[in-house]
């Protein structure tokens, strides 16, 4: 009986550790994020030949998502910032966000000084609270979000939202 309990416990530990988020690459973008190791990114190409990647996973009632675009042409940083600002606003409709706090420009990433980071908080029609971060360097525009942030600590959702990196 002890052996059976030990075997079940060991299996559960191995299963849980295998599903822990890990740093994974986002398609062919040379970007990575701390995400579900089972994640599969949907891929499409826009009419302008931009490469678009999307994935989402849910763990304990909290959804984590990544939208990432590798643009076909590198844009000046100011123009990329404006496009990302507009993109974050346009995402309200498909994600049913009714309210937002307003997009705030954050400090550039230490490892990516030529990267702009933005943050916003949303509330959707189901009264779920979201935290959304966008990143751009002119070639990449990425949006990471956590839906239902009230079910986790700030440290937990920021671990994911701050894990994005460009190589």
pLDDT tens across 86-142, in order? 999 999 999 999 998 988 877 654 555 688 999 999 999 999 999 999 999 999 999
State percent of the chain over pLDDT 90.
66
Rounded distance, CA 43 to CA 24, Å? 16
- Domain-wise residue ranges, the chain: 20-166
Place 13 in a pLDDT band, splitting at 50, 70 and 90: very low
Whether the Cβ atoms of residue 165 and residue 111 lie closer than 8 Å to each other: yes
pLDDT of 107? 62
Considering only the top CATH level, what class is 20-166? alpha beta
pTM above 0.75, yes or no: yes
Contacts of 111 (CB under 8 A, 6+ apart): 165
Higher pLDDT, 57 or 5: 57
Q: What is the DSSP string of 99-152?
A: EE---EEEPPPSS-TT-EEEEEEEEETT--EEEEEEEESSSEEEEEEEE-GGGS
């Amino acid at each position: 009986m002890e052996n059976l309990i030990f075997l079940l416990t060991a299996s559960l530990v191995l299963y849980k550790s295998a599903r822990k988020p890990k740093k994974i690459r986002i398609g062919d973008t040379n970007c990575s994020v701390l995400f579900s190791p089972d994640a599969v990114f949907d891929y499409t190409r826009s009419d302008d030949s931009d490469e678009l990647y999307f994935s989402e996973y849910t763990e304990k009632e909290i959804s984590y998502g990544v939208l990432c675009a590798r643009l076909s042409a590198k844009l000046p940083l100011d123009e990329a910032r404006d496009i990302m600002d507009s993109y974050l606003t346009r995402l309200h409709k498909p994600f049913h966000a009714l309210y937002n706090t307003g997009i705030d420009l954050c400090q550039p990433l230490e490892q990516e000084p030529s990267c702009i980071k933005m943050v916003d908080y949303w509330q959707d029609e189901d009264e779920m609270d979201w935290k959304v971060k966008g990143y751009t360097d002119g070639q990449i525009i990425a949006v990471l979000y956590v839906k239902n942030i009230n079910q986790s600590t700030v440290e937990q959702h920021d671990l994911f939202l701050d894990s994005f990196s460009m190589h």
